Structure 1
Amino acid sequence: MRQKFQHLDYKILVPYLLLVVFGIIMVYSASSDILLVNGFKPATYGIKQAIYAVFAVFLFAAVTFLLRLEIFKNTKFVAWFLGISMMLLLYLIILKIFKGSDAAVNGAVGWIDLKVIKIQPLEIAKLALVLYLAYYLDRHDGSFNQGYIIQNLSRPAILAGVMMFLVVLEPDLGGTAILAMIVIVMFSVSGVPAKKAVLCLLAIAIGVFFLVFLIIKWNPKFLQDSYQYRRLMSFMHPFELEQKGGAQLVNSYYAIHNGGLFGVGLGNSMQKRGYLPEPYTDFILAVAAEEIGVIGALAVLALLFYLMWSIMDVGIHAESQFDALVCFGVTTIIFTETLFNVGAVLGLLPITGVTLPFISYGGSSLIVLSTSIGLVLNIAANERIRKEEEAINEH
């Protein structure tokens, strides 16, 4: 433990802690006015986020300092973790069948309510998929020869496909896309020829674009009452459909415009006061842009990208393929979530409900991401210890 503490990678630790603290501040700021208007204590969500953060940092510290990396490479651990995540996803589908809209939040059945906390199985599934793919691809390192690639990757591809299918049924298209990106990136860096990986990515992108184009042109009646369909149409025509789902995007524009370069001051956002729906979740960046300005929002995004680069750097220099793949997988989760969230806030991508990593309100996301960062720091510390021992042995 002492060795790991001495070899901490502060390029990862400091941005992570800064983002968590900023997230608590922004959740309080973005939620306090709405809570007060509705007769609740203004600090309710801020306190909850702080409690989630304390628990998340505790898990982060445990994974970083107390657990050995061999645990995460163990066959039984990977199988149990993956199995539990799949069972939780399956439970959501059962919940949807028997309870229907009563169990839905924003059109999707994506949470298990334990009263004390709501668990979002998708968040657990993301890390479970990363660990499983890292384990499987590490075990098959060097076997992706021409002519055997499809055969070698069929098992993880099918399993990931089943996982994505369960998430689609919730329905959660944003979560499905994140899982797909994890698979594509981890396949790409595991020895699969880059040309095949790029062609696969292009095929998926073209397929999604064609599907969206077809839905918009066809405008099917059986989809028109769907929450996800209304979100898609609101993305295409936000001002025309402001009263029918476009309010989030329209008020996001207003918030960013009001904030200008330097913002109106922390806590002084107007759009969070009933205009921007649920401003403390997937549109918290719009509130941040209004309060701390475009420059402040860009600084937050720069911190996120610096964290991603630092994690990638650990992966690039890792001796073990398993360690490298875990780092690339964790980076993919953070990058894709950031991309989808920022794209939705700016109106460049459809609104999928994907939250901003470490910043948006929610316990499941913060806890799983913190656990992931702890795992990366554990890898980084072990790499530094290994290199130091090698240098001593050479002399």
Structure 2
Amino acid sequence: MRQKLHYLNYKILVPYLLLVVLGIIMVYSASSDILLVNGFKPSAYGVRQAYYAVFALLVALTVFALRLAVFKNTKFVAWFLGVSMLLLLYLIVLKIFKGSAAAVNGAVGWIDLKVIKIQPLEIAKLALVIYLAYFLDRHDASLSRGNNIINKLSRPAVLAIVMMLLVIVEPDFGGTAILGMIVVVMFAVSGIPARKALFCLISMGLIVFLVVVLIIKWNPDFLQKNYQFQRLMSFMHPFELERKGGAQLVNSYYAIHNGGLFGVGLGNSMQKRGYLPEPYTDFILAVIAEELGVIGAIVVVGLLFYLIWSIMEVGVHASSQFNALLCFGVTTIIFTEALFNIGAVLGLLPITGVTLPFISYGGSSLIVLSASVGLVLNVSANERIKKEEEVLE
């Protein structure tokens, strides 16, 4: 452990810590007014996020301290994947027996343990990354041109599809899309011919696009009361449907406009005071833009993408397929979440309920993302130690 600490990658650690601290500050700022109006302590969510951050840091440190071989162990991979699938399956059982009573905004995505609400999807993302890295590394030699690649990849593909089906039933379209992107990216960088990977990506994109277009054109009656469908229609016509679900996007525009370049000052946002729904989760970036200005928002997004780039850099220079795939998988999780959240806040993508990594309020997301960062720091330290040993030899 002491030896590993000397090989910490500060290009990953520093932006990670800065994002977590910024997250605590902005969660407090975005939630304090709503909590005060409803008779709660204004610091409640900020303090809770700080507790989550401390625990998440301990998780990251633990993952960093473990031998990297643990994550390549067949029993560990099977156990981790099995637990994540069982948790997703439990949500379906919860939905069947409790129905709308267990739903939040039309979706059943959390298991309430009183102390913390666990979101199985977050665990499933990391479990899928570790499983795919394990499987693709073990079959690296056979994934070459001329071999029957489709048959080789049928097992992980079927497992990923089952996982995505369990998530979409919740329903969580954003989470399903993230799982799909993890599969596509990790398949693409695992040695599969570029044509096959590109064909897979384009095919998936076209299918999703055609389904969305058909739903919008068809506009069936039974979907009119569906929360997710209303979100989609509000994305297409936010101002016309402001009272039927478009308020989030409209007030996000107002927040960004009010903030201007330099913002109205920390804690002075008007849109967070009952106008902007979910100001400390889905739309925390809009509050950042209003209070810290466009420049402040760019700094936050810049830190996030610098972290993504630093993780990807470790993957590019990794000496083993397994290490590289872990880094690219984690990169995909953070990048896709950031893309979906920023796109939703700016009105460029439909609102999917995907939060801003490391910034938005929530324990499950922060803990799993921190574990992912700890895993990449572990890979980076091992790579540096290995290179130093090679030089000494």
TM-score interval, smaller chain: over 0.9
Q: How does 1:112-123 map to 2 (within 5 A)?
A: 112-123=111-122
SS in 2 for 1:261: coil
Does 1:343 find its partner at 2:325? no
1:144 aligns with 2:165: no
Rounded to whole Å, the distance in 2 between the matches of 1:378 and 1:147 is 33
The CA deviation at 1:142 is: 2.0
CA apart distance, 1:42: 0.2
Instruction: Quote the residue 2:361 is aligned against.
Output: 361
Alignment of 1:46-195 (within 5 A): 46-65=46-65, 67-145=66-144, 146-195=146-195
Which residue of the partner structure matches residue 236 of structure 2?
236
Cα separation, 2, equivalents of 1:326 and 1:227: 35
Residue in 1 aligned with 2:19?
19
Shift of 1:209: 1.0
Distance 2:204 2:257 in 1: 34
Q: Which runs of 5+ in 1 are unaligned?
A: none
Q: Structure 1 residue 301 and structure 2 residue 301: aligned? A: yes
Shift of 1:191: 0.7
Q: Specify the code of the residue in structure 2 equivalent to 1:28.
A: Y
Corresponding residue number in structure 2 for 1:327: 327
| Distance in 2 separating the partners of 1:153 and 1:140 | 9
Counterpart in 1 of 2:261?
261
Name the CA distance, whole Å, in 1 between partners of 2:11 and 2:27. 25
Q: Tell me by how many angstroms 1:195 deviates.
A: 1.4
- State the alpha-carbon separation in 2 of the partners of residues 220 and 142 from structure 1: 49
Amino acid at match of 1:164: M
Q: Distance in 1 between matches of 2:252 and 2:356?
A: 15
The amino acid that maps onto 1:247 is A
Q: Counterparts of 1:244 and 1:106 in 2: how far apart (Å)?
A: 14
- 1:76 corresponds to which letter in structure 2? K
Deviations 1:295-340 (A, max 9, x none): 1101111111110111011111111111100000000000000000
Residue 291 of structure 2: SS of its match in structure 1?
helix
Amino acid paired to 1:20 = V
Q: Aligned Cα RMSD in Å?
A: 0.6
Q: Kindly provide the CA deviation profile for residues 207-237 of structure 1, in whole angstroms up to 9, marking residues without a partner as x.
A: 1111111111110001111000000010001
Match of 1:286 in 2: 286
Counterpart AA for 2:199: L
Quick one: distance in 1 between partners of 2:306 and 2:194?
Answer: 25
Amino acid at match of 1:289: A
Amino acid of the structure 2 residue aligned with 1:81: F
**Separation of aligned partners in 2, 1:343 and 1:360:** 15
- Kindly state the Cα deviation for residue 194 of structure 1 after the two structures are TM-superposed: 1.1
Q: Which residue identity does 1:291 align to in structure 2?
A: E
Partner in structure 2 of residue 7 of structure 1: 7
CA shift for structure 1 position 206: 1.2
> Offset at 1:147?
4.5
Deviation readout 1:333-356 (Å, 9 max, x if unpaired): 000000000000000100000000
C-alpha displacement at 1:198, in angstroms? 1.1
Q: Distance in 1 between matches of 2:185 and 2:217?
A: 32
* Secondary structure in 2 matching 1:347: coil
1:230, 1:307 → 2: CA distance? 34
Secondary structure in structure 2 of the residue aligned to 1:190: coil
Structure 2 CA distance, aligned partners of 1:207 and 1:159?
20
Provide the C-alpha distance between the structure 1 equivalents of 2:355 and 2:222, rounded to a whole number of angstroms.
28
Instruction: Name the aligned partner's letter for residue 176 of structure 1.
Output: T
Secondary structure in structure 2 of the residue aligned to 1:142: helix
* Residues 214-229 of structure 1 mapped to structure 2, 5 A cutoff: 214-229=214-229
Specify the code of the residue in structure 2 equivalent to 1:69: L
> Following the alignment from structure 1 to structure 2, what is the Cα–Cα distance between the partners of residues 333 and 106?
23
Residue matched to 1:29: 29
Return the letter of the residue paired with 1:122: L
Shift of 1:109: 0.1
Residue aligning to 2:204? 204
Determine helix, strand or coil for the equivalent of 2:297: helix
Secondary structure at the counterpart of residue 233 of structure 1: helix
Q: What is the aligned residue count?
A: 392
- Partner amino acid for 1:248? Q
Give the 3-state SS of the residue equivalent to 2:100 in structure 1.
helix
- Distance (Å, rounded) in 1 between the aligned partners of 2:187 and 2:141: 13
Query: How far off is 1:40 after superposition?
Result: 0.6
**How far is 1:23 from its partner?**
0.3
Provide the C-alpha distance between the structure 1 equivalents of 2:147 and 2:317, rounded to a whole number of angstroms.
Answer: 29
Write out per-residue CA displacement over residues 72-104 of structure 1, whole angstroms, 9 at most, x where no aligned residue: 100000000000000000000000000010000
